[in-house]
Amino acid sequence: MNLNKRSFNAKNYVMLICFIVFSISCFAQNNLSKQYNLQNIIQLAQETSPNAKIAKIAFQKSYWEYKRFKSDFLPQINANGTIPAFNRSISSVLQPDGSINFLQIQQTRNAGGVNATQRIGLTGGQIRVGSNLLRFDDVINNTTRYNLQPVSVGYTQPILRGNPFKWDKKIAQIRYQVAKKQYNESMEQVAIEANSLFFDVLVSQVSLQIAEKNVTLSDTLYKIASGRYNLGKIAENELLQMKLSKMNSERNQKRSQLNLLNAKSRLLRYLNKDTEEAFSLSQPKEIPNIEFNQDTAFAYAIQNKPRFLSFESDRLQSERNLAQAKAGRRFGADINAGYGLANQGETFNEARSNPTVQQQVSVGVNIPIWNGGKNRSEVKIALAENELALLNLEQNKLNFEQEIRLFLQQFPLAKDQLDIAFESDIIAEKRYDIAVKRYMIGKIGITDLNIALNERNAAKRSLLEEMRSFWDTYYKLRFYTLFDFESNAPIDYEVKVN
C-alpha cells in the first residue's frame, strides 16, 4: 500500500513538471509576436487612427481659414489688363439736327494697371492705391491717344454703420484658439478610446491565459482524481465532477480564444493596421502617482478647455448681431474721397508730362424714415436672442463646471480601488499557492482547491478591471483639464500644417 502511494505521488510530480514545461513553452511562443504596452498603443492611435487623422485635417482647415481671414487685413495687390480689345463695326451717331448717321469704326484698346487695397480694421474703412494706362487706336483715321493715371489714392469710410471688421477679428482669433484646443482635446479623446480597446485585448488575453492554465490544471487534476478513484479513495461523484470541470475549462478556453480574436481585430482596425498582425500586450507596470488640488485642476480646465472659449465666441457673435441690428436703425453715411494725377496725349511721353490733379469727394447718406416698424422689430428680436443666448451660455457653463467637479472627485477613488485590487491579487495568489501545496499532500479536497483557484482568477480579473478603470480615469483627467500632471505642463500637441 505504501508502495502504491509513493508511486502515485511520483506520478503527481511528473504531471506538475509537465505542466510547468508546457506553460514555459506557451510563454516562449507568445513572445515570438510583437509586444506593445499601453503607451505604444496610444502613440500609434494618435499617429495612425482615422479619428486622429480627422482631428488633424479639421485643425488644418481651421488654420487655413484663420490665415485667409488674416490675409484680408493685409494689402491686396492685383494687376489687370485688356490686351487687346478690337472693335470693327458700324455704329449709329446722333447728328446735331437730330438725324442719325451710320459710320464704320475700327478701333483697338489696350489697358493695364496695378491696384492695391487695404482694410483698416480700427475704423472699418478701406484705402486704395492704383496706377493705370489706356491706349486707344483709331485704325481708320490712323490716330493714337494715351490716357495715363500714374497714381491715384482713394479712401472709403462708413459712418455710424458699425464696424464689422472689429467684431470679426475678435471672433476669428477666439475661434482659431478654440480649434487648437479642440485638436488637443481630440488627441486626448483618441487616448481614451485606445486605452479602452487596449484593456479589451489585455483582459481577453489574460482570460485566455487563465483558461489555458485551467485546461491543463483540470486535465492534471482529473488524472489525479482517476488515480485516487482507482485506489478507492474518492467516490465516483467526485470523479465525475472533475471530468465536468475539465470539459467546462475546454469550453471556456475556446470562448476566450474567440473573444481575444475579436478584441484584437477591433484594436487593429482602430489603429488602421493589418487585422492579421500577431501581437500581444504587456500589463502596465508603473502607475503614475498623481496628487492634485481639485480647485487647481478646475482652474486648468477653465483655462484650457475649448468649450469655455466657445462660450466666449458665442457671446461675441450674439453681441455682434445686436450691434448690427441697432446700427440698421440709425442714420448712416459713407464718405468716399479720391486724389490722383492724370493726363492724356497722342504719345506716351506727352501723356506722362505735366499731369493734372484729379480730386473727388462724395458723401452718401441713408436716413431711415418709416418702414412699418421693421427695424424696431429686428432690434427687439436681436435683444431677445442676445438675452436668450447669454442665459443658455451661462447655464451650459454651469453644467459643464459641475460635470468637471464631479469627475475630479472620482479620480482619488479610482486610485484607492486599484491599490485594494493589487493587494487582493497578492493575497489570492498566495492563498492559491498554499492550496495547491496542501492538495498535493492530501490535506484538502478538490472543492477547496477549486475555491482557491476561482478566487485567484476572480482577483486577477478584478485587478485588470480596476486597472482599466484607473487608466480610463487618468486619461479622462487629462481630457477634462488638458493638463499633464506628470510633467506639470499644459497639453499642447504639435501639428505640422501642409
pLDDT digits (tens, 9 = 90+) for 437-486: 887 777 777 778 778 888 888 898 888 889 999 999 999 999 989 999 88
Place of cell 478507492: 232
Q: What are phi and psi of 156, to 5 degrees?
A: -120, 130
Burial annotation 139-150 (CB, 10 A radius, 16+ → b, else e): eeeeeeebebbe
Contact by Cβ (8 Å): 446, 192? no
Read off the pTM.
0.76
Alpha-carbon distance of 201 to 38, in angstroms, equals 11
- pLDDT per residue as tens digits for the range 268-321: 999 998 877 888 898 888 888 887 788 888 888 888 888 888 888 888 888 888
Give the residue carrying C-alpha cell 475661434.
175
271 near 34, Cβ under 8 Å? no
Please name the residue that has the C-alpha cell 489525479: 224
Task: Specify the amino acid at residue 61.
Answer: K
Q: Return the C-alpha torsion angle 468, 469, 470, 471, nearest 10.
A: 50
195 contacts 42 by C-beta, under 8 angstroms: yes
In this structure, the number of other CB atoms found within 10 A of the CB of residue 185 comes to: 22
Q: Which residues pair with 148 in a beta bridge?
A: 133, 343
- Contact status, residue 76 vs residue 118, Cβ threshold 8 Å: yes
CA distances from 138 to 91, 106, 144, 342 (A): 14, 6, 6, 22
Identify the burial level of 67 via C-beta atoms within 10 angstroms of its C-beta, where 0-12 means exposed, 13-18 middle and 19 or more buried.
Answer: exposed
How far is Cα 310 from Cα 306, in angstroms, rounded to an integer?
Answer: 6
> What's the whole-number mean pLDDT along residues 230-240?
79
The confidence score (pLDDT) of residue 78 equals 92
Cell 482652474 locates to: 299
Give the pairing type, strands 483-484 and 489-490.
antiparallel
What pLDDT is recorded for position 33? 66
Classify the C-alpha dihedral 267-269-275-279 as positive or negative. negative
Q: What is the pLDDT of residues 1-55, one digit of tens each?
A: 443 444 444 455 445 444 444 444 444 444 446 889 999 999 999 999 999 999 9
Confidence of residue 332 (pLDDT cuts 50, 70, 90): confident
Give the tens place of pLDDT for each residue, 168-208.
Answer: 888 888 899 999 999 999 999 999 999 999 999 999 998 89
Q: How far apart are alpha carbons 96 and 220 in whole angstroms? A: 125
322 and 382 Cβ atoms separated by less than 8 Å: yes
User: How many whole angstroms separate alpha carbon 256 and alpha carbon 204?
Assistant: 7
Give the whole-angstrom CA distance, residue 47 versus residue 271.
Answer: 9
The DSSP code for 355 is P
- Supply φ then ψ for residue 359, to 5 degrees: -130, 145
DSSP classification of residue 141: T
Beta bridge partners of 108: 86, 137
The pLDDT of residue 371 = 66
In one-letter notation, the amino acid at residue 443 is K
Question: For the segment 54-108, what is each residue's pLDDT rounded down to a tens digit?
Answer: 999 999 999 999 998 888 888 999 999 888 888 888 888 888 888 898 888 888 9
Q: What residues contact residue 198 under an 8 Å CB cut-off, 6+ apart? A: 38, 41, 42, 267, 281
Q: Which residue type, as a one-letter code, is found at position 398?
A: L
Give 441's DSSP letter: T
The pLDDT score that the predictor gives to residue 129 is 93
Residue 277 burial (C-beta neighbours within 10 Å; 0-12, 13-18, 19+) = exposed
Coil/strand/helix, residue 30: helix
CA–CA dist 378, 323 (Å, integer): 11
Cα angle 130, 65, 270; round to 5: 155
- E strand segments, 34-124: 34-36, 76-94, 100-120
Taking only the tens place, the pLDDT of each residue in 336-383 is 898 999 888 888 888 888 888 888 888 777 777 766 677 778 778 878
| DSSP string across 323-345 | HHHHHTTS-EEEEEEEEEEEEEE
Q: How confident is the model at residue 163 (pLDDT cuts 50, 70, 90)?
A: confident
Among 110, 102, 120, 216, CA closest to 165: 120
> For the CA atoms of the chain, what is the radius of gyration?
41
Return the C-alpha cell found at 130: 492704383
